[in-house]
Amino acid sequence: NTSTTMKLAIATTLAASAAAFAPASKPASTTSLSAGFENELGAQAPLGFWDPLNMVYEQDQDRFDRLRYVEIKHGRIAMLAVTGHIVTTAGVRLPGDIDYHGTSFASIPVGLAGLKSIPTEGIIQIVAFIGFLELFVMKDVNGTGDFPGDFRNGGSKSWDKLSEEDKLKKRAIELNNGRAAQMGILGLMVHEMMGGSGYVINDLLGYPVN
């Protein structure tokens, strides 16, 4: 049911966010079990290096890079989720119907409630599309990535023109935006299930979102 689905979604998001504030890795590699990650990209004020579940305690660089890869992926998904939530809440929808029974895109509710209105065939198509991206597109196809989450596959020459400092800065921006988005989409889901609006600032400013 919806309550169980929500609990699972929250648990999954919290588990992903537990490592969300661990630092991003650098291209350098080490196999030492005592490798220190305190100075890696992402360990910044005010928390510094923060690993409350000890997920990288006495772990090597390969394990760290795997967790970093998962964090970046979850962050990217969360950023898309937050953007989609904002856009659909603003009333932007695809034209036409989602099925042959006359269910229009505009009639699909925003957020988790929309899952109950999408036809089963539509859910299957969404899952299949995500699976396709996961298996064939959103990955280091050529094995030439410089860091976890590097899916350029030789297709972004502009990145190579940046200085090392700018590269680290841009990676840090993506990492932090992904962390914020994970907490953001979690907040939107929780508020929705509590019967309130996730857009608290709008309410405070006198522009409630219906």
Is a pLDDT exceeding 70 seen at residue 153? yes
Residue 209 pLDDT exceeds 80: no
Cα dist. 204→66, 195, 196 in Å? Answer: 41, 17, 13
CB proximity list for 194: less than 8 A, separation 6 or greater: none
Q: Compare 30 and 51 and report the one with higher pLDDT.
A: 51
CB 13 within 8 A of CB 186: yes
The whole-number average pLDDT for the span 170-185 is 94
Inter-residue contact 122 to 99 (CB < 8 Å): yes
pLDDT at 187 over 80: yes
At CA 175, angle to CA 190 and CA 171, rounded to 5?
160
144 has a pLDDT exceeding 70: yes
Beta bridge pairs of residue 97: 104
Number of helices followed by number of strands (H, E) in the chain:
6, 0
